Amino acid sequence: MHFALPPRKTSNPPPYARTSRTSSLRRRQLQFGAIIGCALLVLIFLISHLFGGGAARVPSGTPEVVIMTLMDEENMTKEYINKIKENRKDYAARHGYATFFPSVSDYSIGSSPRSWALLPAVRHALTDHPHTPFIFALSAHALIMNPSLNLQAHLLSPKKLESLMLRDKPVVPPDSVIKTFSHLHGDRIDLILTQDAEGLSQGSFIIRRGDWAEFFLDTWFDPLYRSYNFQKAEGHALEHIVQWHPTILTKLALVPLRVMNSYGVEITSRGGKEVMYKDGDFVVRLVGCEADPNRSCEKEFDVFYNQWKQALGK
């Protein structure tokens, strides 16, 4: 007896007549999720660029320069301080700059000489004026004598700065083996300083805002240096770090003293008559007056203050 064999199964089954409802729903969910993800990425990108990323927006009216002068109210009369402020404010108003007058007592410097307060004062100026590119730190015992000089044209423009920079010059004259670099460009400079015949002269300097400025000020104010009892306190500490930290030297420009730091008295060891103030100079500084018991900063200041007032016709 023969039985019919069952039909063979094909290896190519016929296609389904309709798509599974479950897989179609899954596809739509994935597509919707992708759209939401893309939208979130676009939103994050826009928010980061408008509020958090990119270059910080500089508010309208931000001054290009802040003139910072540290006041030692315990050792200066109120009249003296007011005259200093008058001089700075008059100059700032002419050129759209701002002024900042912190007090030595604002800062904790422990047992270090009071002059060390200069460094946290500069940091304070940078913090209070977060968009201003330059801080001009000028000693209280100094006057701006030529208010017609604009700092950008007189010193800060890269081309002008390059024409003034002292290249291949011993950092601490006369025989320091460490010299200023000869290849630096003006737009790469973050610290503008002067020197006299004895060494660096930090009574008048300009520093550019940025990460380097913070590094430099932190290094200069290091507690280790403050504990060394340098004879000239922060002055000798500055000479030390400039000579032994190439990172600092590569951002430094030395300019001739009379560009921004002429002396009001003749001191042979510091350069004599060559560095003394002459009519038309930008600044006159009464270098060393606060450390010499035979001198009076205020009386010396009044001589130049009266000249300045007379020149302004006040």
Q: Where in the chain does DSSP place strands (E)? A: 65-68, 98-100, 134-138, 142-144, 191-195, 200-208, 252-254, 262-263, 283-285
- CB atoms under 10 Å from CB of 99, counted, come to 20
* Contact indicator for 197, 173 with CB cutoff of 8 Å: yes
pLDDT score of 60? 86
d(CA 193, CA 205): 5
Q: What is the dihedral of CA 36, 42, 45, 46, to 10 degrees?
A: -120
Q: Which residues pair with 194 in a beta bridge?
A: 201
DSSP string spanning 266-283? --GGGTGGGGB--TT-SE
* Contact indicator for 63, 98 with CB cutoff of 8 Å: yes
Ramachandran category for residue 230: left, alpha or beta (phi over 0 → left; psi -120 to 50 → alpha): beta
pLDDT score of 185? 96
pLDDT score of 197? 95
Q: Which residues pair with 100 in a beta bridge?
A: 68
d(CA 114, CA 249): 26
d(CA 150, CA 168): 28
CA distances in angstroms from 259 to 16, 231, 254, listed in the order given: 91, 27, 10
pLDDT score of 135? 98
Task: Check: pTM over 0.85? Answer yes or no.
Answer: no
Beta pairing, strands 283-285 & 262-263: parallel
The two structure tokens encoding residue 41 = 């990425």
Bond before 174 cis per omega within 30 degrees: yes
Identify the three-state secondary structure at position 173.
Answer: coil
Place of tokens 């430099």: 216
Going by C-beta distance under 8 Å and a sequence separation of 6 or more, which residues neighbour residue 9? none
Q: Which residues pair with 66 in a beta bridge?
A: 98, 135
pLDDT (tens place) for every residue of the chain, 314 residues total: 555 555 555 555 555 445 556 666 666 766 666 677 666 765 665 555 455 444 468 898 899 999 999 999 999 999 999 999 999 999 999 999 999 999 999 999 999 999 999 999 999 999 999 999 999 999 999 999 999 999 999 999 999 999 999 999 999 998 899 999 999 999 999 999 999 999 999 999 999 999 999 999 999 999 999 999 888 999 999 999 999 999 999 999 999 999 999 999 999 999 999 999 999 999 999 999 999 999 999 999 999 999 999 999 86
